[in-house]
Structure 1
Amino acid sequence: MERIQDGRGAFPASRPKRRFSPNEPRLDTFPIQHVQIDWQRLMAKRELVLDTVDAMPTYLLKPEVLGLLDAEKHPTYRLILDLMWTTGARISEVLALTPSHFTDDGYDFMVVLRTLKQRPGRPTNVQLARRPKRAVPIVDPMLKDRIQSYLYAGHFRKDERIFTMARQTVNRHIHGLVKRVGGAPINITCHTFRHSFAIHLLLHGRPLKIVSQLLGHKSIESTEIYTNVLTVDGGHFLDGVNFH
Protein backbone atom coordinates (compact mmCIF):
# COMPACT_ATOMS: atom_id res chain seq x y z
CA MET A 1 0.00 0.00 0.00
CA GLU A 2 1.29 3.43 -0.91
CA ARG A 3 2.31 5.51 2.10
CA ILE A 4 2.93 9.18 2.67
CA GLN A 5 5.98 10.06 4.76
CA ASP A 6 6.17 13.00 7.11
CA GLY A 7 8.20 13.90 10.18
CA ARG A 8 5.97 11.85 12.51
CA GLY A 9 6.10 8.55 10.63
CA ALA A 10 4.22 6.68 7.93
CA PHE A 11 0.51 6.96 7.34
CA PRO A 12 -1.64 5.19 4.73
CA ALA A 13 -2.87 7.45 1.97
CA SER A 14 -6.61 7.78 1.66
CA ARG A 15 -7.99 5.49 -0.99
CA PRO A 16 -9.21 7.35 -4.10
CA LYS A 17 -12.77 6.81 -5.16
CA ARG A 18 -13.24 4.59 -8.21
CA ARG A 19 -14.57 6.36 -11.30
CA PHE A 20 -15.53 4.34 -14.38
CA SER A 21 -12.90 1.71 -13.72
CA PRO A 22 -13.26 -2.01 -12.94
CA ASN A 23 -12.93 -3.21 -9.39
CA GLU A 24 -9.42 -4.17 -8.47
CA PRO A 25 -8.90 -7.90 -7.87
CA ARG A 26 -8.67 -8.91 -4.24
CA LEU A 27 -5.15 -9.66 -3.06
CA ASP A 28 -6.36 -12.55 -0.93
CA THR A 29 -9.62 -14.34 -0.29
CA PHE A 30 -11.24 -16.38 2.42
CA PRO A 31 -9.84 -19.96 2.45
CA ILE A 32 -13.18 -21.61 1.62
CA GLN A 33 -14.14 -20.42 -1.85
CA HIS A 34 -16.52 -23.03 -3.20
CA VAL A 35 -18.93 -25.46 -1.57
CA GLN A 36 -21.37 -27.93 -3.05
CA ILE A 37 -24.69 -27.89 -1.25
CA ASP A 38 -27.50 -30.36 -1.86
CA TRP A 39 -30.36 -27.94 -1.29
CA GLN A 40 -33.08 -30.53 -1.85
CA ARG A 41 -31.54 -32.80 0.80
CA LEU A 42 -31.30 -29.95 3.30
CA MET A 43 -34.89 -28.91 2.66
CA ALA A 44 -36.03 -32.50 3.20
CA LYS A 45 -34.06 -32.65 6.48
CA ARG A 46 -35.50 -29.40 7.84
CA GLU A 47 -38.54 -31.05 9.40
CA LEU A 48 -36.21 -33.36 11.34
CA VAL A 49 -34.10 -30.41 12.49
CA LEU A 50 -37.11 -28.46 13.74
CA ASP A 51 -38.59 -31.56 15.38
CA THR A 52 -35.47 -32.74 17.24
CA VAL A 53 -33.67 -29.55 18.22
CA ASP A 54 -35.18 -27.59 21.11
CA ALA A 55 -35.73 -23.89 20.39
CA MET A 56 -34.52 -24.27 16.79
CA PRO A 57 -35.87 -21.28 14.84
CA THR A 58 -37.59 -21.79 11.52
CA TYR A 59 -35.45 -21.00 8.50
CA LEU A 60 -35.40 -20.98 4.72
CA LEU A 61 -32.67 -22.08 2.35
CA LYS A 62 -31.30 -20.11 -0.57
CA PRO A 63 -33.57 -21.50 -3.35
CA GLU A 64 -36.63 -20.79 -1.22
CA VAL A 65 -35.54 -17.24 -0.39
CA LEU A 66 -34.75 -16.49 -4.02
CA GLY A 67 -38.18 -17.78 -5.00
CA LEU A 68 -39.81 -15.29 -2.64
CA LEU A 69 -37.59 -12.44 -3.79
CA ASP A 70 -38.35 -13.14 -7.44
CA ALA A 71 -42.09 -13.10 -6.68
CA GLU A 72 -41.90 -9.79 -4.79
CA LYS A 73 -42.52 -6.97 -7.26
CA HIS A 74 -42.98 -4.07 -4.85
CA PRO A 75 -39.60 -2.27 -4.80
CA THR A 76 -39.85 -1.18 -1.16
CA TYR A 77 -40.77 -4.57 0.24
CA ARG A 78 -38.30 -6.29 -2.07
CA LEU A 79 -35.53 -4.10 -0.65
CA ILE A 80 -36.61 -4.81 2.94
CA LEU A 81 -36.56 -8.57 2.33
CA ASP A 82 -33.21 -8.37 0.57
CA LEU A 83 -31.64 -6.40 3.42
CA MET A 84 -32.82 -8.93 6.01
CA TRP A 85 -31.61 -11.84 3.87
CA THR A 86 -28.19 -10.43 2.96
CA THR A 87 -27.28 -8.70 6.25
CA GLY A 88 -29.08 -10.73 8.93
CA ALA A 89 -30.69 -7.55 10.22
CA ARG A 90 -33.71 -7.66 12.50
CA ILE A 91 -36.77 -6.00 11.03
CA SER A 92 -36.54 -3.34 13.76
CA GLU A 93 -33.00 -2.57 12.59
CA VAL A 94 -34.07 -2.32 8.95
CA LEU A 95 -36.99 -0.02 9.76
CA ALA A 96 -34.60 2.27 11.65
CA LEU A 97 -32.36 2.78 8.60
CA THR A 98 -31.68 6.23 7.20
CA PRO A 99 -29.42 7.25 4.28
CA SER A 100 -26.66 8.00 6.80
CA HIS A 101 -26.48 4.31 7.72
CA PHE A 102 -25.07 3.40 4.30
CA THR A 103 -21.40 4.08 3.70
CA ASP A 104 -18.62 3.30 1.24
CA ASP A 105 -14.99 3.47 2.40
CA GLY A 106 -13.61 2.85 -1.09
CA TYR A 107 -13.20 -0.85 -0.43
CA ASP A 108 -16.63 -1.97 0.80
CA PHE A 109 -20.17 -0.71 0.57
CA MET A 110 -21.68 -1.27 4.01
CA VAL A 111 -24.77 -0.76 6.08
CA VAL A 112 -24.25 0.25 9.70
CA LEU A 113 -26.92 -1.37 11.85
CA ARG A 114 -28.00 -0.35 15.30
CA THR A 115 -28.41 -3.55 17.31
CA LEU A 116 -32.09 -3.47 18.21
CA LYS A 117 -34.03 -6.45 19.52
CA GLN A 118 -37.63 -6.66 18.43
CA ARG A 119 -40.08 -4.76 20.58
CA PRO A 120 -43.58 -3.49 19.84
CA GLY A 121 -43.48 -0.44 17.59
CA ARG A 122 -40.51 1.29 16.04
CA PRO A 123 -37.44 2.14 18.17
CA THR A 124 -37.28 5.61 19.70
CA ASN A 125 -34.38 7.99 19.13
CA VAL A 126 -33.21 7.36 22.70
CA GLN A 127 -33.16 3.59 22.11
CA LEU A 128 -31.23 4.11 18.89
CA ALA A 129 -28.59 6.26 20.55
CA ARG A 130 -27.91 3.72 23.30
CA ARG A 131 -27.52 0.65 21.11
CA PRO A 132 -24.17 -0.64 19.82
CA LYS A 133 -23.53 -0.56 16.09
CA ARG A 134 -22.17 -3.10 13.64
CA ALA A 135 -21.12 -2.69 10.01
CA VAL A 136 -22.21 -5.38 7.55
CA PRO A 137 -20.75 -5.35 4.01
CA ILE A 138 -23.12 -5.58 1.04
CA VAL A 139 -21.14 -7.37 -1.66
CA ASP A 140 -23.85 -7.95 -4.27
CA PRO A 141 -23.38 -5.16 -6.87
CA MET A 142 -27.01 -5.40 -8.04
CA LEU A 143 -28.30 -4.94 -4.48
CA LYS A 144 -25.89 -2.05 -3.95
CA ASP A 145 -27.23 -0.41 -7.10
CA ARG A 146 -30.85 -0.89 -6.00
CA ILE A 147 -30.12 0.62 -2.59
CA GLN A 148 -28.45 3.66 -4.12
CA SER A 149 -31.23 4.07 -6.69
CA TYR A 150 -33.88 3.80 -3.96
CA LEU A 151 -32.16 6.45 -1.85
CA TYR A 152 -31.71 8.74 -4.84
CA ALA A 153 -35.30 8.41 -6.02
CA GLY A 154 -36.71 8.89 -2.51
CA HIS A 155 -34.99 12.26 -1.91
CA PHE A 156 -34.62 11.35 1.75
CA ARG A 157 -33.01 13.66 4.24
CA LYS A 158 -29.81 12.34 5.78
CA ASP A 159 -31.48 11.26 9.03
CA GLU A 160 -34.93 10.44 7.62
CA ARG A 161 -36.09 6.86 7.93
CA ILE A 162 -36.38 5.33 4.48
CA PHE A 163 -39.07 2.78 5.43
CA THR A 164 -42.22 4.17 7.03
CA MET A 165 -44.21 1.01 7.78
CA ALA A 166 -44.41 -0.98 11.02
CA ARG A 167 -43.04 -4.47 11.63
CA GLN A 168 -46.56 -5.93 11.70
CA THR A 169 -47.22 -4.48 8.24
CA VAL A 170 -44.13 -6.16 6.83
CA ASN A 171 -45.12 -9.48 8.40
CA ARG A 172 -48.59 -9.26 6.88
CA HIS A 173 -47.04 -8.53 3.51
CA ILE A 174 -44.76 -11.56 3.82
CA HIS A 175 -47.72 -13.80 4.67
CA GLY A 176 -49.50 -12.52 1.57
CA LEU A 177 -46.41 -13.11 -0.54
CA VAL A 178 -46.11 -16.69 0.70
CA LYS A 179 -49.73 -17.35 -0.20
CA ARG A 180 -49.16 -15.98 -3.72
CA VAL A 181 -46.33 -18.45 -4.32
CA GLY A 182 -48.37 -21.42 -3.13
CA GLY A 183 -47.72 -21.55 0.61
CA ALA A 184 -44.86 -22.92 2.69
CA PRO A 185 -44.33 -25.85 5.09
CA ILE A 186 -43.28 -23.46 7.87
CA ASN A 187 -44.49 -20.13 9.23
CA ILE A 188 -42.42 -17.39 7.58
CA THR A 189 -41.97 -14.02 9.27
CA CYS A 190 -39.46 -11.20 9.13
CA HIS A 191 -37.20 -13.02 11.58
CA THR A 192 -37.08 -16.08 9.30
CA PHE A 193 -34.83 -14.14 6.93
CA ARG A 194 -32.38 -13.34 9.75
CA HIS A 195 -32.19 -17.01 10.74
CA SER A 196 -31.75 -17.96 7.09
CA PHE A 197 -28.83 -15.52 6.73
CA ALA A 198 -27.02 -17.12 9.68
CA ILE A 199 -27.50 -20.66 8.41
CA HIS A 200 -26.48 -19.66 4.88
CA LEU A 201 -23.12 -18.36 6.15
CA LEU A 202 -22.49 -21.47 8.25
CA LEU A 203 -23.29 -23.73 5.29
CA HIS A 204 -20.53 -21.89 3.43
CA GLY A 205 -18.00 -22.55 6.19
CA ARG A 206 -17.86 -19.06 7.65
CA PRO A 207 -16.56 -18.95 11.26
CA LEU A 208 -19.16 -19.02 13.99
CA LYS A 209 -17.54 -16.04 15.72
CA ILE A 210 -17.87 -13.86 12.61
CA VAL A 211 -21.47 -14.93 12.07
CA SER A 212 -22.21 -14.04 15.69
CA GLN A 213 -20.70 -10.58 15.26
CA LEU A 214 -22.61 -9.94 12.04
CA LEU A 215 -25.84 -10.86 13.80
CA GLY A 216 -25.08 -8.56 16.72
CA HIS A 217 -25.24 -11.32 19.33
CA LYS A 218 -23.76 -10.54 22.73
CA SER A 219 -22.58 -14.11 23.13
CA ILE A 220 -21.51 -16.77 20.64
CA GLU A 221 -23.73 -19.23 22.50
CA SER A 222 -26.73 -17.48 20.99
CA THR A 223 -25.40 -18.29 17.52
CA GLU A 224 -24.57 -21.95 18.16
CA ILE A 225 -28.20 -23.02 17.73
CA TYR A 226 -27.79 -22.61 13.95
CA THR A 227 -25.02 -25.22 13.76
CA ASN A 228 -27.61 -27.94 14.26
CA VAL A 229 -28.38 -27.69 10.56
CA LEU A 230 -24.82 -28.91 9.91
CA THR A 231 -24.88 -31.86 12.31
CA VAL A 232 -28.41 -33.27 12.28
CA ASP A 233 -27.87 -34.99 8.92
CA GLY A 234 -26.04 -38.00 10.41
CA GLY A 235 -25.87 -40.01 7.20
CA HIS A 236 -24.16 -37.20 5.30
CA PHE A 237 -21.92 -36.31 8.25
CA LEU A 238 -20.66 -39.91 8.62
CA ASP A 239 -20.29 -40.58 4.91
CA GLY A 240 -16.87 -42.09 4.28
CA VAL A 241 -16.31 -43.17 7.89
CA ASN A 242 -15.96 -46.97 7.98
CA PHE A 243 -16.45 -48.96 11.18
CA HIS A 244 -15.91 -52.50 9.79
Structure 2
Amino acid sequence: MARKSPFLEMVRGEIRLRGYSLRTEKTYLFWIYRYIIFHGKEHPTKMGANEVKEFLTWLAVKKEVAVNTQKVALNALVFLYHKVLKVELGELDFKLATKQRHLPTTLTKREVSQILRQLPERDRLIISLLYGSGLRITECLRLRVQDVCFDRLALTVRDGKGNKDRQTLLSQSAVPALKQQIEVALAVQESDNAHGIGPSIPGALGKKYPSGYRMPAWMFVFPSSALCQHTFTGVTCRHHLHETVIRKSLQRAVKAAGVTGKKVNCHTFRHSFATHLLQSGYDIRSVQELLGHNDVKTTQIYTHVLGQHYAGTRSPLDTLVD
Protein backbone atom coordinates (compact mmCIF):
# COMPACT_ATOMS: atom_id res chain seq x y z
CA MET A 1 0.00 0.00 0.00
CA ALA A 2 1.59 3.23 -1.14
CA ARG A 3 1.46 6.00 1.45
CA LYS A 4 4.46 8.12 0.39
CA SER A 5 2.40 11.26 -0.24
CA PRO A 6 3.78 14.63 0.94
CA PHE A 7 0.76 15.05 3.20
CA LEU A 8 1.15 11.68 4.91
CA GLU A 9 4.89 12.24 5.28
CA MET A 10 4.06 15.51 7.03
CA VAL A 11 1.70 13.62 9.35
CA ARG A 12 4.46 11.06 9.97
CA GLY A 13 6.76 13.90 11.02
CA GLU A 14 4.16 15.21 13.48
CA ILE A 15 3.77 11.73 14.99
CA ARG A 16 7.53 11.36 15.45
CA LEU A 17 7.81 14.86 16.88
CA ARG A 18 5.52 13.75 19.69
CA GLY A 19 7.56 10.62 20.37
CA TYR A 20 4.88 8.06 19.50
CA SER A 21 5.98 4.46 18.98
CA LEU A 22 6.68 3.11 15.51
CA ARG A 23 3.69 0.77 15.88
CA THR A 24 1.38 3.72 16.65
CA GLU A 25 2.84 5.59 13.70
CA LYS A 26 2.05 2.75 11.31
CA THR A 27 -1.44 2.30 12.74
CA TYR A 28 -2.37 5.99 12.55
CA LEU A 29 -1.04 6.35 9.01
CA PHE A 30 -2.98 3.25 7.95
CA TRP A 31 -6.31 4.61 9.20
CA ILE A 32 -5.72 8.11 7.87
CA TYR A 33 -4.90 6.57 4.49
CA ARG A 34 -8.08 4.45 4.62
CA TYR A 35 -10.09 7.57 5.49
CA ILE A 36 -8.70 9.49 2.52
CA ILE A 37 -9.28 6.59 0.11
CA PHE A 38 -12.85 6.11 1.41
CA HIS A 39 -13.63 9.70 0.47
CA GLY A 40 -12.23 9.38 -3.05
CA LYS A 41 -8.79 10.79 -2.18
CA GLU A 42 -10.26 14.10 -1.05
CA HIS A 43 -7.73 16.13 0.94
CA PRO A 44 -8.46 16.07 4.70
CA THR A 45 -8.33 19.88 4.85
CA LYS A 46 -11.44 19.91 2.67
CA MET A 47 -13.26 17.51 4.97
CA GLY A 48 -14.31 17.56 8.60
CA ALA A 49 -16.67 16.18 11.22
CA ASN A 50 -19.31 14.97 8.73
CA GLU A 51 -16.78 12.98 6.72
CA VAL A 52 -15.24 11.50 9.85
CA LYS A 53 -18.70 10.49 11.09
CA GLU A 54 -19.51 8.90 7.72
CA PHE A 55 -16.26 6.90 7.69
CA LEU A 56 -16.62 5.63 11.26
CA THR A 57 -20.25 4.66 10.64
CA TRP A 58 -19.20 2.78 7.49
CA LEU A 59 -16.64 0.83 9.51
CA ALA A 60 -19.35 -0.21 11.98
CA VAL A 61 -22.22 -0.92 9.57
CA LYS A 62 -20.55 -2.17 6.38
CA LYS A 63 -17.22 -3.56 7.59
CA GLU A 64 -18.60 -4.76 10.96
CA VAL A 65 -15.35 -4.00 12.75
CA ALA A 66 -14.88 -4.63 16.48
CA VAL A 67 -15.39 -1.82 18.97
CA ASN A 68 -11.65 -1.49 19.66
CA THR A 69 -10.87 -1.30 15.93
CA GLN A 70 -13.31 1.57 15.50
CA LYS A 71 -11.77 3.32 18.52
CA VAL A 72 -8.29 3.08 17.00
CA ALA A 73 -9.56 4.59 13.74
CA LEU A 74 -11.21 7.39 15.72
CA ASN A 75 -8.00 8.08 17.64
CA ALA A 76 -6.05 8.33 14.39
CA LEU A 77 -8.50 10.83 12.89
CA VAL A 78 -8.72 12.88 16.09
CA PHE A 79 -4.91 13.11 16.05
CA LEU A 80 -5.02 14.19 12.40
CA TYR A 81 -7.51 16.99 12.93
CA HIS A 82 -6.70 18.15 16.45
CA LYS A 83 -2.91 17.85 16.49
CA VAL A 84 -1.93 18.23 12.84
CA LEU A 85 -4.62 20.35 11.17
CA LYS A 86 -5.61 22.22 14.36
CA VAL A 87 -9.32 21.67 13.63
CA GLU A 88 -11.82 20.81 16.36
CA LEU A 89 -14.22 18.08 15.29
CA GLY A 90 -16.70 18.63 18.11
CA GLU A 91 -19.27 15.96 18.94
CA LEU A 92 -19.25 13.05 16.50
CA ASP A 93 -22.62 11.32 16.49
CA PHE A 94 -21.53 8.23 14.56
CA LYS A 95 -22.84 4.66 14.62
CA LEU A 96 -20.98 2.70 17.27
CA ALA A 97 -19.55 -0.68 16.38
CA THR A 98 -21.48 -3.51 18.01
CA LYS A 99 -19.12 -6.39 17.28
CA GLN A 100 -17.65 -7.21 20.68
CA ARG A 101 -14.40 -8.88 21.60
CA HIS A 102 -14.48 -12.64 21.90
CA LEU A 103 -13.45 -14.16 25.19
CA PRO A 104 -9.68 -14.67 25.10
CA THR A 105 -8.22 -18.13 24.70
CA THR A 106 -6.35 -19.33 27.77
CA LEU A 107 -4.31 -22.40 28.62
CA THR A 108 -4.31 -24.63 31.64
CA LYS A 109 -1.14 -24.71 33.73
CA ARG A 110 -0.46 -28.20 32.43
CA GLU A 111 -0.76 -27.01 28.81
CA VAL A 112 1.64 -24.14 29.51
CA SER A 113 4.18 -26.59 30.91
CA GLN A 114 3.77 -28.96 27.96
CA ILE A 115 4.42 -26.17 25.45
CA LEU A 116 7.39 -24.74 27.35
CA ARG A 117 9.10 -28.13 27.34
CA GLN A 118 8.98 -28.21 23.53
CA LEU A 119 10.69 -24.85 23.03
CA PRO A 120 14.44 -24.24 22.53
CA GLU A 121 16.17 -22.53 25.45
CA ARG A 122 16.00 -18.88 24.34
CA ASP A 123 12.42 -19.13 23.07
CA ARG A 124 11.36 -20.96 26.24
CA LEU A 125 12.64 -18.02 28.27
CA ILE A 126 10.70 -15.53 26.14
CA ILE A 127 7.42 -17.43 26.38
CA SER A 128 8.06 -17.95 30.10
CA LEU A 129 8.26 -14.16 30.53
CA LEU A 130 5.02 -13.66 28.62
CA TYR A 131 3.30 -16.08 30.97
CA GLY A 132 5.21 -15.29 34.15
CA SER A 133 5.13 -11.49 33.83
CA GLY A 134 2.06 -10.84 31.67
CA LEU A 135 4.07 -9.22 28.88
CA ARG A 136 3.04 -8.61 25.31
CA ILE A 137 5.50 -10.15 22.84
CA THR A 138 6.73 -6.73 21.68
CA GLU A 139 7.22 -5.60 25.30
CA CYS A 140 9.30 -8.67 26.03
CA LEU A 141 11.52 -8.38 22.96
CA ARG A 142 12.12 -4.66 23.61
CA LEU A 143 13.47 -5.32 27.11
CA ARG A 144 16.92 -3.86 27.69
CA VAL A 145 19.41 -4.82 30.39
CA GLN A 146 18.48 -1.73 32.43
CA ASP A 147 14.84 -2.88 32.52
CA VAL A 148 15.64 -5.98 34.57
CA CYS A 149 15.96 -5.73 38.35
CA PHE A 150 16.97 -9.03 39.92
CA ASP A 151 17.08 -7.58 43.45
CA ARG A 152 13.39 -6.63 43.43
CA LEU A 153 12.34 -9.34 40.95
CA ALA A 154 10.82 -6.69 38.69
CA LEU A 155 10.71 -5.85 35.01
CA THR A 156 10.16 -2.33 33.68
CA VAL A 157 8.12 -2.06 30.50
CA ARG A 158 8.91 1.19 28.69
CA ASP A 159 6.65 2.81 26.12
CA GLY A 160 4.09 0.04 26.35
CA LYS A 161 0.65 0.26 24.80
CA GLY A 162 -0.57 3.84 25.12
CA ASN A 163 3.03 5.07 25.46
CA LYS A 164 3.00 4.14 29.15
CA ASP A 165 5.75 2.79 31.40
CA ARG A 166 4.89 0.20 34.01
CA GLN A 167 6.51 -2.36 36.27
CA THR A 168 5.57 -5.98 36.52
CA LEU A 169 6.85 -8.97 38.43
CA LEU A 170 9.71 -11.25 37.46
CA SER A 171 9.42 -14.93 38.33
CA GLN A 172 12.22 -16.27 40.52
CA SER A 173 12.30 -19.42 38.39
CA ALA A 174 13.16 -17.33 35.29
CA VAL A 175 16.16 -15.63 36.92
CA PRO A 176 18.94 -18.16 36.06
CA ALA A 177 17.98 -18.36 32.37
CA LEU A 178 17.53 -14.59 32.17
CA LYS A 179 20.97 -13.93 33.70
CA GLN A 180 22.51 -16.32 31.20
CA GLN A 181 20.70 -14.64 28.30
CA ILE A 182 21.92 -11.22 29.41
CA GLU A 183 25.49 -12.52 29.38
CA VAL A 184 24.97 -13.72 25.80
CA ALA A 185 23.51 -10.35 24.81
CA LEU A 186 26.40 -8.40 26.37
CA ALA A 187 28.90 -10.58 24.52
CA VAL A 188 27.13 -9.67 21.26
CA GLN A 189 27.29 -6.00 22.23
CA GLU A 190 31.01 -6.21 23.00
CA SER A 191 31.65 -7.76 19.59
CA ASP A 192 29.55 -5.10 17.85
CA ASN A 193 31.25 -2.28 19.76
CA ALA A 194 34.60 -3.40 18.36
CA HIS A 195 33.23 -2.39 14.94
CA GLY A 196 31.63 0.84 16.15
CA ILE A 197 28.15 -0.69 16.20
CA GLY A 198 25.67 -1.20 19.03
CA PRO A 199 22.00 -1.61 19.90
CA SER A 200 19.46 0.71 18.31
CA ILE A 201 18.54 3.63 20.57
CA PRO A 202 15.49 5.90 20.11
CA GLY A 203 16.41 8.95 18.01
CA ALA A 204 16.25 11.68 20.67
CA LEU A 205 18.00 9.53 23.28
CA GLY A 206 20.63 8.57 20.72
CA LYS A 207 21.55 12.25 20.44
CA LYS A 208 21.48 12.74 24.20
CA TYR A 209 23.68 9.68 24.78
CA PRO A 210 25.96 9.48 21.72
CA SER A 211 28.01 6.74 23.40
CA GLY A 212 24.94 4.93 24.68
CA TYR A 213 25.43 2.06 22.28
CA ARG A 214 28.52 1.11 24.31
CA MET A 215 26.66 1.07 27.64
CA PRO A 216 25.49 -2.39 28.80
CA ALA A 217 22.28 -0.82 30.15
CA TRP A 218 21.08 -0.06 26.60
CA MET A 219 21.65 -3.54 25.20
CA PHE A 220 18.61 -5.57 24.21
CA VAL A 221 18.17 -8.73 26.26
CA PHE A 222 17.08 -10.55 23.10
CA PRO A 223 19.16 -9.09 20.24
CA SER A 224 18.54 -9.84 16.59
CA SER A 225 20.97 -12.13 14.81
CA ALA A 226 21.44 -9.57 12.01
CA LEU A 227 22.33 -5.89 11.76
CA CYS A 228 19.93 -3.31 10.29
CA GLN A 229 19.55 0.37 9.52
CA HIS A 230 17.90 2.48 12.23
CA THR A 231 14.39 3.47 11.08
CA PHE A 232 14.83 7.12 12.03
CA THR A 233 18.56 7.83 11.79
CA GLY A 234 19.73 5.35 9.15
CA VAL A 235 22.68 4.35 11.36
CA THR A 236 23.78 0.70 11.22
CA CYS A 237 22.79 -0.98 14.49
CA ARG A 238 21.45 -4.16 16.05
CA HIS A 239 17.75 -4.22 16.86
CA HIS A 240 15.91 -6.70 19.05
CA LEU A 241 14.78 -10.12 17.87
CA HIS A 242 11.79 -9.98 15.50
CA GLU A 243 8.52 -11.30 16.88
CA THR A 244 7.90 -13.53 13.86
CA VAL A 245 10.85 -15.70 14.94
CA ILE A 246 9.11 -16.47 18.23
CA ARG A 247 5.69 -16.94 16.66
CA LYS A 248 7.02 -19.60 14.29
CA SER A 249 8.90 -21.34 17.09
CA LEU A 250 5.79 -21.29 19.27
CA GLN A 251 3.58 -22.84 16.61
CA ARG A 252 6.02 -25.74 16.24
CA ALA A 253 6.04 -26.21 20.01
CA VAL A 254 2.25 -26.15 20.29
CA LYS A 255 2.00 -28.85 17.65
CA ALA A 256 4.71 -30.96 19.28
CA ALA A 257 3.02 -30.58 22.68
CA GLY A 258 -0.22 -31.96 21.27
CA VAL A 259 -2.26 -28.97 22.44
CA THR A 260 -5.20 -29.13 20.06
CA GLY A 261 -8.58 -27.47 19.90
CA LYS A 262 -7.23 -24.06 20.90
CA LYS A 263 -5.83 -21.24 18.80
CA VAL A 264 -2.59 -20.52 20.65
CA ASN A 265 -0.40 -17.49 19.98
CA CYS A 266 2.01 -15.35 21.99
CA HIS A 267 -0.80 -13.28 23.50
CA THR A 268 -2.45 -16.44 24.84
CA PHE A 269 0.23 -16.57 27.54
CA ARG A 270 -0.56 -13.02 28.69
CA HIS A 271 -4.23 -13.99 28.85
CA SER A 272 -3.30 -17.09 30.85
CA PHE A 273 -1.16 -15.00 33.23
CA ALA A 274 -4.16 -12.81 34.12
CA THR A 275 -6.62 -15.67 34.34
CA HIS A 276 -4.42 -17.81 36.58
CA LEU A 277 -3.72 -14.90 38.94
CA LEU A 278 -7.43 -14.21 39.34
CA GLN A 279 -8.07 -17.90 39.72
CA SER A 280 -5.60 -17.92 42.61
CA GLY A 281 -7.55 -15.15 44.32
CA TYR A 282 -5.41 -12.13 43.46
CA ASP A 283 -7.12 -8.75 43.55
CA ILE A 284 -8.35 -7.61 40.13
CA ARG A 285 -6.86 -4.12 40.65
CA SER A 286 -3.42 -5.64 41.17
CA VAL A 287 -3.79 -7.68 38.00
CA GLN A 288 -4.91 -4.53 36.18
CA GLU A 289 -1.71 -2.75 37.24
CA LEU A 290 0.51 -5.64 36.18
CA LEU A 291 -1.14 -5.80 32.75
CA GLY A 292 -1.06 -2.01 32.26
CA HIS A 293 -4.79 -1.67 31.56
CA ASN A 294 -6.21 1.86 31.82
CA ASP A 295 -9.66 0.64 32.83
CA VAL A 296 -10.47 -2.23 35.16
CA LYS A 297 -13.31 -3.14 32.79
CA THR A 298 -10.67 -4.39 30.35
CA THR A 299 -9.26 -6.68 33.02
CA GLN A 300 -12.71 -7.92 34.00
CA ILE A 301 -12.98 -9.91 30.79
CA TYR A 302 -10.78 -12.52 32.47
CA THR A 303 -13.37 -13.03 35.21
CA HIS A 304 -15.76 -14.08 32.44
CA VAL A 305 -13.19 -16.58 31.21
CA LEU A 306 -13.37 -18.10 34.69
CA GLY A 307 -17.16 -18.10 34.56
CA GLN A 308 -17.11 -15.56 37.39
CA HIS A 309 -18.04 -11.89 37.33
CA TYR A 310 -15.75 -11.46 40.31
CA ALA A 311 -12.86 -13.64 41.35
CA GLY A 312 -13.96 -16.04 44.07
CA THR A 313 -17.66 -15.98 43.22
CA ARG A 314 -19.32 -19.40 43.30
CA SER A 315 -22.57 -20.63 41.86
CA PRO A 316 -25.28 -20.85 44.53
CA LEU A 317 -25.86 -24.44 43.40
CA ASP A 318 -22.43 -25.31 44.80
CA THR A 319 -23.40 -24.00 48.23
CA LEU A 320 -26.46 -26.19 48.72
CA VAL A 321 -26.39 -28.46 51.72
CA ASP A 322 -27.71 -32.01 51.34
Q: TM-score range by the shorter chain?
A: 0.5 to 0.7
Contact kept, 8 Å, 2:131 with 2:273, in 1: the verdict is yes
Q: Which runs of 5+ in 2 are unaligned?
A: 1-99, 190-215, 225-240
Does 2:156 match 1:112? yes
Does 2:211 match 1:133? no
**1:61-84: CA deviation from partner (whole Å, max 9, x where unpaired):** 211101111222x22101110100
> Is the partner of 2:219 in helix, strand or coil?
coil
**Superposed displacement of residue 223, structure 1:** 0.5
Which structure's residues are more often strand, by fraction?
A: 1
- 2:144 equivalent in structure 1: 98
Residues 228 and 188 of structure 1, relative CA distance in 2, 3 Å threshold? same
Q: Which runs of 5+ in 1 are unaligned?
A: 1-52, 118-129
CA distance in 2, matches of 1:101, 1:63: 30
- 1:212 equivalent in structure 2: 288
TM-score by length of 1: 0.65
Residues 110 and 154 of structure 1, relative CA distance in 2, 3 Å threshold? same
**Higher radius of gyration, 1 or 2:** 2
Letter in 2 for 1:187: K
Contact kept, 8 Å, 1:103 with 1:109, in 2: the verdict is yes
CA distance in 1, matches of 2:176, 2:169: 14
Match 2:103 to one of 56, 59, 72:
56
- 1:159 equivalent in structure 2: 218
Which structure's residues are more often helix, by fraction?
A: 2
CA distance in 2, matches of 1:210, 1:115: 20
Residues 209 and 232 of structure 1, relative CA distance in 2, 3 Å threshold? closer
Letter in 1 for 2:258: G
TM-score by length of 2: 0.50
Alignment of structure 1 residues 226-241 onto 2, 5 Å: 226-231=302-307, 237-241=315-319
**1:81-119: CA deviation from partner (whole Å, max 9, x where unpaired):** 010000000001011111111014x4x2211112534xx
Contact kept, 8 Å, 1:97 with 1:113, in 2: the verdict is yes
User: What's the RMSD between the two structures over aligned residues?
Assistant: 2.4
CA distance in 2, matches of 1:239, 1:114: 46
CA distance in 2, matches of 1:115, 1:88: 15
Letter in 1 for 2:133: T
